[in-house]
Structure 1
């Protein structure tokens, strides 16, 4: 039987791409990580990583296992948080703004645990585009905002704390020609129909990937609906480069979506909390920031 520690070690190696970097992040020896991965592969009867001169790369089996491993890690974390002690001594009212993507895929699970632990702290949730959230922070209409800090305006007197850097991968259907590759270039991607997500400025970010060298893909769909993009990708009619934050392997119709590493460097999607730099956070607000960390 695999242990939670092995799952943690495996995911650390996936994120770091190297045993040495993963060991450093985990604050354990390299041999501990190496032996853990070796034991996992023996128990599963499959190689999870390809050993390359520059580090490790997931095999197809490793990619499949990674999806389940992340679900296991998230479930374990949720179970741990569900039994934390309730603190009713701190009260407060927080106006928390959030963008659509983050309200759908990030905020509610965290807020559920926060409300359970701090029932006397009222958090009012307001969903709006980034520009509106920034203006509301400046004008004092919001206390905090859950935003993509990588997109945050730098000239409005706001400060922020980033707590998650999400990688972007190419999404493809299981039977798409590119699905057979472990890594693809932007030039390869440009040869296929493409779907653009028009949410939280993902469309603006997507347009920066392409140039004269890579070529421009044919845009088959532009949609504000992540499920529409996911369904089109799963049908094999288009591909898309999107953040791991919104990645789910299954569509509402039960079709599977795979994700593949892009050869060229793709900027991460940085998630964090922003607030007006001139104001000092109170205890309740600091607790909310800690909940998202």
Structure 2
């Protein structure tokens, strides 16, 4: 099997844009070239990567698994091409990094893997804590940086932030749920639904005022700190959830398919980014990490 970088690049573009035409436009080539490349790729690896529909394409379960590997391949290639342009391999030392639990689960692994590939002599110590305690550690100078939610940051006077990604809240539901046929869910559609709440990183607090305003706060039937529990319950039809896109995965561990739909009147986002103490002198290790994460965000998020 001889996969080419061009094949996996076209695959990644198609997955990102959701259509062959979008990938062709981004790559500045013909749609037929993208189509033939994906067909050859699917034939080589022996699985269907996309399901075709009238609005474009959607990743299959195997396609999602393959995409994760492709992202790592493309990130490694990107690191290799930039290795001599922007790295000072004499940089060593230690970086103390704070992270909250939800962010650790969805952003940390790929970022750390890339950082360690390019700067293996910098030791990164990661401290997972709740948001309030991380703010305390940053202000006290015990952490150099934190990768965390920035939408609920409290101390703007002492802390600076750089938001990297904004993830909108949508309704998560089973692919078999009656509301899946709606392109835009109305708040009144939820008044007869059981809501499942994910109670980590202050996600529940973030949505509480909106739920109260829409008279939906009494619809919560189950609270959990487990994302997988939320997915599994939705997949089996036990309820629906209002959660940010960044935690969405299209399949549960049991193989049930999940969907997400926008909710009218809900513009709330969950923001993730870097946070550091205002006025503190930044270390070389922290500067390098901030630069790499910003570049990673531009190319991958």
Normalised by the length of structure 2, the TM-score is 0.76
Aligned-partner SS, 2:98:
strand
Indicate how the Cα distance of structure 1 residues 272 and 214 shifts in structure 2: closer, same or farther if over 3 A, else same. Answer: same
Q: Distance in 2 between matches of 1:90 and 1:273?
A: 21
Partner of residue 124, structure 1: 125
Q: What RMSD in Å do the two structures reach over aligned CA positions?
A: 3.3
Q: Distance in 2 between matches of 1:200 and 1:12?
A: 30
Q: Distance in 2 between matches of 1:271 and 1:69?
A: 26
Partner of residue 262, structure 1: 263
Q: Shift of the alpha carbon at 1:207?
A: 1.1
Partner of residue 297, structure 2: none
Aligned-partner SS, 2:125:
strand
Indicate how the Cα distance of structure 1 residues 45 and 223 shifts in structure 2: closer, same or farther if over 3 A, else same. Answer: closer
Partner of residue 148, structure 1: 149
Partner of residue 239, structure 1: 240
Partner of residue 184, structure 2: 183
Q: Distance in 2 between matches of 1:78 and 1:229?
A: 27
Cα shift readout 1:179-229 (whole Å, capped 9, x = no counterpart): 222221122123200011110100101212224555445211111111111
Aligned-partner SS, 1:137:
helix
Aligned-partner SS, 1:152:
coil
Q: Shift of the alpha carbon at 1:6?
A: 7.4
Partner of residue 53, structure 1: none
Aligned-partner SS, 1:134:
helix
Question: Aligned match of 2:13 in 8, 19, 31?
Answer: 8
Aligned-partner SS, 2:260:
strand
List gaps (5 residues or longer) in structure 1: 50-57
> How many residue pairs were aligned?
268
Indicate how the Cα distance of structure 1 residues 257 and 109 shifts in structure 2: closer, same or farther if over 3 A, else same. Answer: same
Indicate how the Cα distance of structure 1 residues 73 and 165 shifts in structure 2: closer, same or farther if over 3 A, else same. Answer: farther
Aligned-partner SS, 2:256:
coil
Q: Distance in 2 between matches of 1:230 and 1:172?
A: 9
**Is the Cα–Cα contact under 8 Å of residues 190 and 216 in structure 1 kept in the other structure?**
no
Partner of residue 97, structure 1: 98
List gaps (5 residues or longer) in structure 2: 1-5, 40-49, 295-301
Q: Shift of the alpha carbon at 1:76?
A: 3.3
**Is the Cα–Cα contact under 8 Å of residues 99 and 126 in structure 2 kept in the other structure?**
yes
Is 1:81 aligned to residue 82 of structure 2? no
Q: Shift of the alpha carbon at 1:101?
A: 0.5
Aligned-partner SS, 1:161:
strand
Normalised by the length of structure 1, the TM-score is 0.78
